[in-house]
Amino acid sequence: MAFTLKLGEAPPDFSLPGVDGKNYRPGDFKDAKVLIVLFTCNHCPYVTGSQDRVDRLYAEYAPKGVRMIAINSNETVDHPTDAFEHMVERAKTLGLKYPYVRDDSQDVARAYGALRTPHFYVFDGERKLRYTGRIDNSPRDAAKAVTHELRDALDDLLAGRAVRVPLTNPIGCNVKWLGQDGHWMPADACDLV
Query: What CATH number is given to the structural domain containing 26?
Result: 3.40.30.10
Pairing relationship of beta strands 16-17 and 173-174 according to DSSP bridges: unpaired
Identify whether 91 is part of a domain: yes
Identify whether 8 is part of a domain: no
Asked if residue 63 has a cis previous peptide bond (ω within 30° of 0), the answer is no
pLDDT in the model for residue 181 = 79
Answer left, alpha or beta for residue 189, where phi above 0 means left and psi between -120 and 50 means alpha. beta
**CB neighbourhood size of 86 (10 A):** 18
Confidence of residue 1 (pLDDT cuts 50, 70, 90): very low
Pairing relationship of beta strands 16-17 and 100-102 according to DSSP bridges: unpaired
Q: What is the mean pLDDT of residues 45-57?
A: 97
Confidence of residue 10 (pLDDT cuts 50, 70, 90): very high
135: pLDDT strictly greater than 50: yes
Whole-number mean pLDDT of the chain?
94
CA–CA separation, 151 vs 167, rounded Å?
13
Identify whether 89 is part of a domain: yes
More confident call, 31 vs 180: 31
pLDDT in the model for residue 190 = 60
Burial class (CB in 10 A: 0-12, 13-18, 19+), 130: buried
Q: What is the pTM of this model?
A: 0.95
Confidence of residue 180 (pLDDT cuts 50, 70, 90): confident
Q: What is the mean pLDDT of residues 117-131?
A: 98
Identify whether 191 is part of a domain: no
Provide the domain limits for residue 64.
Answer: 16-174
CA–CA separation, 84 vs 95, rounded Å?
16
> Do residues 166 and 6 lie in contact, with contact meaning Cβ atoms separated by under 8 Å?
no
Identify whether 187 is part of a domain: no
60: pLDDT strictly greater than 80: yes
**CB neighbourhood size of 15 (10 A):** 12
pLDDT in the model for residue 3 = 84
The domain total for the chain is: 1
